[in-house]
Amino acid sequence: MKKALVIGSLNMDMTVKVEKLPKLGETIFGNEFYESCGGKGANQAVAVAKLGMKTEMIGMVGKDSQGEKLIQNLVDNGVKADNVIKSDELTGRAIITVDKNGDNNIIVIAGSNFKITEKDIQNKVNVIAENDVVILQNEIPLSVVEFCLLKAKELGKITVFNPAPATKLNDRIFHNTDYLILNETEMEEIFEIKISDEGYAEKILHKKEEHGIKNIILTLGEKGCVYFDKNNDINKYEAYKVKAIDTTAAGDSFIGAFAMKICECGDTGEAIKYATAVSAIVVTRQGAQSSIPTKDEIKDFLRKN
């Protein structure tokens, strides 16, 4: 059986629901507040596990109650958490504001996530060797991301990288990434290409060639996604028409579902379609990991759609 490893962040999410996102300097009332387990890495790990693949996570939490909750939550969702390390730094947190349309903004306080080091990963390189696909995001130090991708490729693993939060990346990261998955905000920050630009797709292909990137998947929310493949063909995929109430975990669930399916079947188009269905369900539910569907729920959704 194929197995997935997620190396990345674990955060306690603190979410406020509002009518509209506040303007600069504006004070508004919130309608609802709740805490939930999150972090891009943990969200992606839970997505893979709930969809039926054996999943393991490497990350770091604090020696506090939030850290214990995050580890227990992974276990409760079927993720092996033996290699989540405990640090003296506080557990990471995310402050999330969600408006009535389901749109959000997120502030991440990295905490213990930014204390993980290359040495920590080197000590667990056997864990990378035991898995088939390695999934990474940008809520841990970039030097650690680069090291993980290098080790994963040396061991012949499929690598999936989501550069969020966005920052400038070097070509060593690009060369060791099989699938770079990013949204339009990240595309603009990393490559300085706006989706509203005339000929944006050709500009992306140019950057892809310039940096030696194998595959790029650009997610566009309700507009679907665009896949720039290794042959430089441009493939567009439509999103399912659903009523969104919370988009917080849409990207993470897409990435987890894609990584699981590409590892399972090796067909990128099928993996994208599957991931699109997963994220369509996620946005109709409140919360991050709690919104991620099971394998049976996806089967039912695809049968009806």
62 known member of a binding site = no
251 annotated among ligand-binding-site residues = yes
End-to-end C-alpha distance for the chain, whole angstroms: 28
**Any idea what the Cα angle at residue 296 is, between residues 254 and 178, rounded to 5°?**
30
* 178 annotated as ligand-binding: no
What would the 3-class secondary structure string for 139-151 be? CCCHHHHHHHHHH
CA distances (Å), origin 267, targets 20, 233, 262: 40, 15, 6
139 in a labelled binding site: yes
Q: Would you say 25 is a known binding-site residue?
A: no
207 is in an annotated binding site: no
43 in a known ligand binding site = yes
Q: Is 68 annotated as a binding residue?
A: no
Peptide bond into 293 cis (omega under 30): no
CB atoms < 10 A from the CB of 75, how many?
A: 12
Match 């917080």 to its residue by tokens: 248
Rounded Cα distance between 199 and 8, Å, is: 34
221 known member of a binding site: yes
Q: Is 287 annotated as a binding residue?
A: yes
Q: Which residues contact 72 (CB under 8 A, 6 or more apart)?
A: none
Marked catalytic residue, from 120, 252, 267, 300: 252
Q: What letter would DSSP give residue 291?
A: G
Query: Is 305 part of any known ligand binding site?
Result: no
- Respond yes or no: is residue 197 known to be catalytic: no
- Of 135, 116, 144, 176, the closest CA to residue 40 belongs to 135
Q: How many CA atoms lie within 13 A of 272 on its CB side?
A: 23
* 268 carries a ligand binding annotation: no
Residue ranges for the known binding site for substrate are 11-13, 39-43, 139, 252
> Binding site for K(+): which residues?
246, 248, 282, 285, 287, 291
> Can you say which residues are annotated as belonging to the binding site?
11-13, 39-43, 139, 183, 219-224, 246, 248, 251-252, 282, 285, 287, 291
Residue positions annotated with a catalytic role: 252
